[in-house]
Structure 1
Amino acid sequence: MQDMSKYTQEDLWVWRTLFTRQKENIPGKSSQAYTDALEHMSPVLNAEEIPNFKKINTWFENETKWKLEVVPGLIPVQDFFQLLAQRKFCSSIWLRSKDSLDYLEEPDMFHDIFGHVPLLSNPIFSEFVHEFGKLGCQFLDDTEKLLQLQRLYWFSIEFGVIQEQGKIQSYGAGILSSYSETIQIHEQKANFLDYSIEAIIQKAFRTDIMQEDYYVISSFEMLFESLKKLSLVWNKELTEV
């Protein structure tokens, strides 16, 4: 449970600094859907106050029905899929220290809330995340398929980019919560690959470095359709066993 009284002035400074810096950084670099969603959520998600999960959950009741689920950190992958299938998004309630403002390997509240939560108010994207969780729940005992879904999550929800009006823009939370990675994408100092779910589910990733390869979509519908395609293939395999 989140106890707002436990946050310190340093926590507020860290949140305000990170939020303000990144909000000033992302114009022209983030997807229009993310930019619109962040603005839409401004009554409950802004630089002036540490996010109050109760307020955010109430706000979502009139939107896409998602809820924030407090977790201590990284949780078992099976639990993660089950929560997504219930429209519950996991979030830490701790904030990095002022001495560690930049890249963290383990996600903190700034990554979870600033990076992930705004797009959960986008109907198409949030439904993709929901269906992603539901597909994972069908294969909780299949280690290989869960690994493949983790790769899809990594290269879309965490580090996805989208082509908009001839420009590559970021929508993944791992990018949008990182000052330097947002700039790296904008300056195109990376490899941009055509989105292919077949390639993605076979591609290993590292969590300890800035990414080198990014998969480019043309719309969020593309994510949704590719997930449906994967579901059909996997469920066909089940019926043929």
Structure 2
Amino acid sequence: MAVSVAAHSAPKNREMFAIKKSYSIENGYPSRRRSLVDDARFESSVVKQTKKVVLEEARLKANDGSECRDIPNGENDENEEEEQEVDEQEYYVEVDDNVYVKPYDGGNDHQREDNEKKDEDEEKKEEESEKEKEEEKVEVEEEKKSDDSELTEEEMILQNAAAVSEEAANAVIKAALVVRLRDGMGSLGRILKAIETYKGVVIHLESRQSHEKDIQFDVLIKTEIARSSLLQLCRSLRQSMAFGGITVLSENSVNIKAPWFPKHASELDNCNHLMTKYEPDLDMNHPGFADQEYRARRKMIAEVAFAYKHGDSIPIIDYTVVENQTWQSVFNVVKDLVPKHACKEYRIIFDKLEKEGIFTEHRIPQLQEMNDFLHKSTGFTLRPAAGLLTSRDFLYSLAFRVFQSTQYVRHGNSPMHTPEPDYIHEMLGHMPLLGDPSFAQFSQEIGLASLGASDEEIEKLSTVYWFTVEFGLCKENNEVKAYGAGLLSAYGELLHAVSDTPEHRPFEPEKTAVQPYQDQEYQPIYYVAESFEDAKEKFRRWVSNMSRPFEVRYNPHTERVEILDSVEKLESLVSQLNTEVLHLTNAIDKLKKPLC
């Protein structure tokens, strides 16, 4: 049961903070034109707002539950209040509906004065007592509030999971705790005793000297314990001044706080549920907004993509005469500009695509035939997408050498401009370079870096992608050439980018990642790479400083991403590398031998 709960926990937590707003200006989207960078910023903003709401609700729920537990004799208190109300009603005389007055005592006035004085003293004592109770209550509430505010996001998610049912609360999970010891190893026994008290089992324990001030040791404890007991254990340990902090790292080896990400190519089926709505339906300035036939066509093609699953054959789209004419107009313009302004790698693959009959001016190539070409060239594969994916989902796909491509075509009235990437942009802009081994590797490096990245890092990766894969320039024989898909499928900005008008800066990922970009007009700044190899090397150095606490690699044989977080996995990788080095050494030795 514990395994099945854990298997669904990460996607469920991701869904908890999923974006449920459409990408529109009314919902806070920063511009009318969709882009990967604006997507990432919009997603970060929405996720932060959603997390704040979800966690606040969880904290309030936790407080309500604490208050109920702190009043075990609530029924007795209510009975006492009822008795007090009866006494008061007996002491007063009803003179009107629900109106009571104290009856006049015809006895001795001195006695009455004494009684009144006594009553005043009692009332004063009662007021003081009530004041003290109120102060105590405030202190208790503040203490509860303080305790609750210390709950981490991981514990809030655990608490939500435990609240689903009694079975979920009692489910035994594997969890890792980091406890910071102020007073040395002497307090370790208290931790182990507490785990035993809450019926947990320690399966691994290690310690190291801490680098934090006033903390002597950091202790990592892996335990098997019920989910509800884990929460109680954390709260119990926090009450001791001997510990400088308690952190829940994981549940069943799945990091709770880090964003979920796919481990196998088949899991990309879960990376298309955050699609944007169809742009023609949202934006009055879209060329197809008033064209009902075009909008219906877009919706039909989108539904085909939504139905696609890993392993399916890519659906064939029967493109219309108008769509093929639109392709022809753009194809001929791009073909004329390629020899002079496109980089060498793009030109080589473009020629191959023409020779194989995939690129021809008379018809739009099918996604399946382009998929077959790329797969045998660089191992990249394609899958249909209904529209622009979120930046995180799109980058995830690149990690598996999968490019999610739209299949709809821009409106015929605007063949040289589209407010969002379309199939012509994908075919003429992205596909040729995905057939180049070096560029394909660079694209995958960006995707691998996105796995487990924070929202802020996704923004930076999206910005790097924007200024390289979409609008990148490179040097070639002392000339500036284009390799960005956004340039090679839009002749106006291509001519602007390679001219002397904009500023050309050397590609440095740490600077590129924080560079504001222009959305409504041509870019005033472009980044120029010395070569794809140089860009990859700089990118790798930059990525190594990201906050992700683990490294990943892609295994092309299993189509699986492997997390290198244990000695066993590293030893396996070293063994594979040794085999590759042996083949390399043998090849070099054979090349050195003279031919007989």
Please give the TM-score of this superposition, normalised by the length of structure 1: 0.92
> Is the 1:92–1:112 contact (alpha carbons within 8 Å) kept by the matching residues of 2?
yes
Amino acid at match of 1:66: F
Query: Against the structure 1 CA distance between its residues 4 and 111, is the aligned structure 2 distance closer, same or farther, given a 3 Å change threshold?
Result: same
Higher Rg of the two aligned structures? 2
Pairs aligned (count): 235
1:82 aligned to 396, 399, 404, which one?
396
- Aligned to 1:28, the other structure's residue is in SS state helix
Deviation at 1:68, TM superposition (A): 1.5
- Please say if residues 155 and 200 of structure 1, whose CA atoms lie closer than 8 Å, have aligned partners that are also in contact: yes
Contact 1:64–1:120 (CA under 8 A) maintained in structure 2:
yes
Structure 2 residue 446 is the aligned partner of structure 1 residue 146: no
Q: CA deviation at 1:230?
A: 1.6
Structure 1, residues 40-62: CA drift from partner, whole Å, max 9, x if none? 12222332221211111122232
Name the counterpart of 1:26: 338
Q: Deviations over 1:19-77 (max 9, x none)?
A: 01111122211111111111112222332221211111122232111111211111122
1:208 alignment partner in structure 2: 520
Tell me, yes or no, if the aligned pair for 1:105 and 1:208 is still in contact at 8 Å: no
Is the 2:316–2:368 contact (alpha carbons within 8 Å) kept by the matching residues of 1? no
Alignment correspondent of 2:384: 70
Counterpart amino acid of 1:175?
A: L
Instruction: Please state whether the residue corresponding to 1:59 is helix, strand or coil.
Output: helix
Distance 1:138 1:168, change over 3 A: same
CA apart distance, 1:95: 0.9
Which ranges of structure 1 fall in alignment gaps of 5 or more residues? none
Shift of 1:189: 2.1
Q: 2:498 aligns with which of 179, 182, 186?
A: 186
CA contact (8 A) 1:161 1:171 kept: yes
Query: Normalization by structure 2: what TM-score?
Result: 0.38
Distance 1:183 1:81 in 2: 28
Structure 2: runs of 5 or more not aligned: 1-303, 305-314, 551-596
Amino acid in structure 2 at the alignment position of 1:79: D
8 Å Cα contact 2:434/2:440 also seen in 1: yes
Residues 188 and 37 (structure 1), Cα distance of their counterparts in 2 relative to 1, 3 Å cut: farther
Aligned counterpart, 1:106: 420
Residue identity opposite 1:45 in structure 2: F
Tell me the distance in 1 between the aligned counterparts of 2:519 and 2:378.
Answer: 30
- Equivalent residue for 1:53? 367
- TM-superposition CA deviations, 1:115-168 (whole Å, max 9, x none): 0110011111100101110110131xx110000000100000000001111111
CA distance in 1, matches of 2:431, 2:479: 23
SS at match of 2:382: strand
**C-alpha contact 2:470 2:484 (8 A) present in aligned 1:** yes
Query: Does the 8 A contact of 2:399 with 2:445 survive in 1?
Result: yes
Q: Is 1:169 aligned with 2:511?
A: no
The equivalent of 1:3 in structure 2 is 316
CA distance in 2, matches of 1:57, 1:153: 22
Would you say the 8 A contact 1:155–1:214 is kept in 2?
yes
Per-residue CA deviations over 1:150-192 (Å, capped at 9, x if unaligned) read 0100000000001111111100000000011111123332111
Partner in structure 2 of residue 13 of structure 1: 325
Q: Secondary structure at the match of 1:234?
A: coil
> Contact conserved, 2:496 with 2:522, CA < 8 A, in 1?
no
3-state secondary structure, aligned to 2:348: helix
SS at match of 1:35: helix
CA distance in 2, matches of 1:218, 1:98: 38
Rounded to whole Å, the distance in 1 between the matches of 2:492 and 2:545 is 38
Q: Please say if residues 472 and 482 of structure 2, whose CA atoms lie closer than 8 Å, have aligned partners that are also in contact.
A: yes
Query: Partners in 1 of 2:363 and 2:430 — Cα distance?
Result: 18
Moved more, 43-52 or 29-38: 43-52
User: What RMSD in Å do the two structures reach over aligned CA positions?
Assistant: 1.5
Q: Which amino acid aligns with 1:198?
A: E
Structure 1 match to 2:190? none
Per-residue deviation, 1:194: 1.5
Distance of 2:500 and 2:335 partners within structure 1: 20
